[in-house]
Amino acid sequence: MKKQDFLAIPKNALKNETNAAKLTFLIVFGLCFVLTIIMAMITNGVTFSVKFFGTGRFSDTFMDFMNSIRDSSQVNMYRTRWTIYPPLAALFFRFIGGMMSQNSVHISFSGRKELLIDPIAMLIFMLFAILCVYLIFKMLDYRMQSEKKCLLAKLCAFCLAFSYPVVYCLERGNITIFCVITAMFFVFFRNSNNKFIRELALIALAISAGLKFYPAIFGLILLAEKKFFAAFRCIIYGLICFFGPIIIINAMDTAILSSPSSNNEYFENNATSISYMVSRLIKNLINTVKNKAAISNYSYVSIQQIFMLAPIKKLLQGYDIPKICSLAIIISEVIAGVGFFITKEEWKRVFLLIYIILNIPIASSVYALSFIIIPFAIYLYEKRSFKSADWFSLLLMSILTSFIPIFTTLDPKSIQLLPEVFGNTIDICPQKLIAAIVFQTLFFTVMISSISSLTEKIIEIRKQRKQRREV
């Protein structure tokens, strides 16, 4: 990369507000990352590891990936493992398990971490992670480039591809990262001039929903744009992505259970029927939703977490906080849904759909904030006149995607102060502690600015009508 390209960055940033926004994000991200590295060097890496592993808890790096291989490779997994992964995700992990040693795949729960020393498992995961980051970078770079290639856009794409939520998602080894990629492909290419690419975008959304059910909500974009036939085709693709894999898994399970060497002791007579598998999956999902709704965790970004903060809990002492949380979730979800249809800016629309997803406790982990790079990329690309709310939104999204440094020596006395503010938590990672506050503030900022824009538009229309009548 040429020296003059870097020297031209400040000059290009002054040309328009969009480039200024890109430069602002790069400054925030870069400054936070440099300070994070400095603190990591001072503390021998402790402050950096805390960002992912926490303090005083069992570390299970990459184990979402490894556990899913182990669970999905079992016969009748929805009965024996209580898994909630949709059939497409289960088939993906079973396919990977088929390339590994069966002794590793069928290892006991207590010995599951031995998968981390399986060379084939780690090689597959490494290739998966590299491919995911590459695809994210290429799509972000494509989306943020203007008519003339811009170094600012490439740097922003690179930073977002290695943003904290993405890296954290990879540290967990969670399939959510591939949902982000397929959902991103849909959002970025659904209006492509190439008919084949437009159809691939619909298939990508179906795949995303097939890996994790909740990305299906992005289909509302098609309805809002009145692309009803495209929405219908997307539903068909979605049904194929659901029933196709479950038929394949059913056939595989049936073949295994029918073999003379199989042990049918733990399976009902109808254990291999498709209807049984679907009913078990639904039952597992319902149980998981109930359990998650009753649990608060520092790694959640749902509005429920706001009510778990010590000052809020103290303020609401004597009230039924779980009911208040449920009511707050329902109200905020409805408001976000209405906001999706009244706002005209694409990045806000996409963000509000992501908010609807992440505001549900079962889907609100911090690593799921990887989805926010989609509206953030659109935000950094769209050319418009920036208002104060836009700059504030930029700051909030920059905080959510940056590596916020930890300025502490991890002294036990300083750690003990945290419960006074954040409730029962032993994690001192800034991102996890403030994620819910920043995410919910971004939501309110988006809604207020959207309502303000709508109000201004209505007033302008009324003025124009009045002027016409006077003429």
Question: Quick check: 378 and 346 in contact, CB under 8 A?
Answer: yes
pLDDT surpassing 80 at residue 414: no
3-state secondary structure at position 161: helix
Task: Report the candidate in 67, 69, 105, 72 with the shortest Cα–Cα distance to residue 248.
Answer: 72
- What distance in Å separates the CA atoms of residue 422 and residue 310, rounded to the nearest whole number? 6
pLDDT surpassing 70 at residue 4: no
Give the H or E element holding residue 185.
helix 176-189
Percent of the chain clearing pLDDT 70 (strictly above): 81
- What distance in Å separates the CA atoms of residue 311 and residue 175, rounded to the nearest whole number? 35
| Least confidently predicted of 8-12, 42-46, 73-77, 399-403 | 8-12
- What distance in Å separates the CA atoms of residue 126 and residue 173, rounded to the nearest whole number? 10
| Least confidently predicted of 1-15, 114-128, 212-226, 422-436 | 1-15
Domain ranges within the chain, ordered by starting residue: 13-470
Q: Which residues pair with 365 in a beta bridge?
A: 300
CA atoms within 13 A on the CB side of 80: 19
pLDDT surpassing 50 at residue 464: yes
Higher pLDDT, 243 or 319: 243
Hey, how many other C-beta atoms are within 10 angstroms of the C-beta on 26? 18
- What distance in Å separates the CA atoms of residue 293 and residue 143, rounded to the nearest whole number? 36
Residue 224's alpha-carbon distances to 77, 217, 220, in angstroms, are 38, 12, 6
| Least confidently predicted of 43-47, 118-122, 130-134, 143-147 | 143-147
- What distance in Å separates the CA atoms of residue 381 and residue 394, rounded to the nearest whole number? 12
Residue 377's alpha-carbon distances to 93, 151, 161, 397, 402, in angstroms, are 30, 15, 11, 10, 14
pLDDT confidence of residue 202: 97
Question: Quick check: 182 and 203 in contact, CB under 8 A?
Answer: no
pLDDT confidence of residue 350: 96
Hey, how many other C-beta atoms are within 10 angstroms of the C-beta on 116? 16
> What are the φ and ψ backbone dihedral angles of 45, each rounded to 5 degrees?
85, -5
The residues, ordered by sequence, that sit 6+ positions from 191 with a Cβ below 8 Å of its Cβ are 198
Residue 149's alpha-carbon distances to 130, 146, 152, 380, 385, in angstroms, are 25, 6, 9, 14, 21
pLDDT confidence of residue 405: 85
Mean pLDDT computed over 38-47: 83
User: 266-292: per-residue pLDDT in tens?
Assistant: 444 445 566 766 777 777 667 666 665
User: 323-342: per-residue pLDDT in tens?
Assistant: 888 899 999 999 999 999 99
Q: Please, what is the average pLDDT of the chain?
A: 82
pLDDT confidence of residue 196: 95
Query: pLDDT tier at 48 (50, 70, 90 boundaries)?
Result: confident
Distance of CA 86 to the CA centre of its chain: 17
CA atoms within 13 A on the CB side of 9: 18
pLDDT surpassing 60 at residue 413: no
Looking at residue 60, the DSSP 8-state letter turns out to be -
Question: Quick check: 205 and 218 in contact, CB under 8 A?
Answer: yes
3-state secondary structure at position 300: strand
Residue 276's alpha-carbon distances to 74, 191, 195, 361, in angstroms, are 16, 39, 39, 27
pLDDT surpassing 60 at residue 8: no
Looking at residue 355, the DSSP 8-state letter turns out to be H
Which tokens in the block code for residue 179?
């949902």
| Least confidently predicted of 78-82, 172-176, 372-376 | 78-82
User: 392-412: per-residue pLDDT in tens?
Assistant: 999 999 999 999 887 765 554
Amino acid at 229: F
Task: Report the candidate in 102, 109, 75 with the shortest Cα–Cα distance to residue 266.
Answer: 75
- What distance in Å separates the CA atoms of residue 364 and residue 270, rounded to the nearest whole number? 35
Mean pLDDT computed over 338-349: 92
Q: Which residues pair with 300 in a beta bridge?
A: 365
pLDDT confidence of residue 265: 45
Task: Report the candidate in 324, 294, 300 with the shortest Cα–Cα distance to residue 312.
Answer: 324
Task: Report the candidate in 396, 441, 357, 428 with the shortest Cα–Cα distance to residue 180.
Answer: 357
Which tokens in the block code for residue 354?
């992501």
Task: Report the candidate in 416, 10, 370, 354 with the shortest Cα–Cα distance to residue 164.
Answer: 370
3-state secondary structure at position 365: strand
Task: Report the candidate in 380, 376, 385, 347 with the shortest Cα–Cα distance to residue 146.
Answer: 380
Mean pLDDT computed over 78-107: 82
- What distance in Å separates the CA atoms of residue 433 and residue 221, rounded to the nearest whole number? 32
Mean pLDDT computed over 49-56: 69
Higher pLDDT, 175 or 148: 175
Question: Quick check: 361 and 330 in contact, CB under 8 A?
Answer: no
Higher pLDDT, 359 or 453: 359
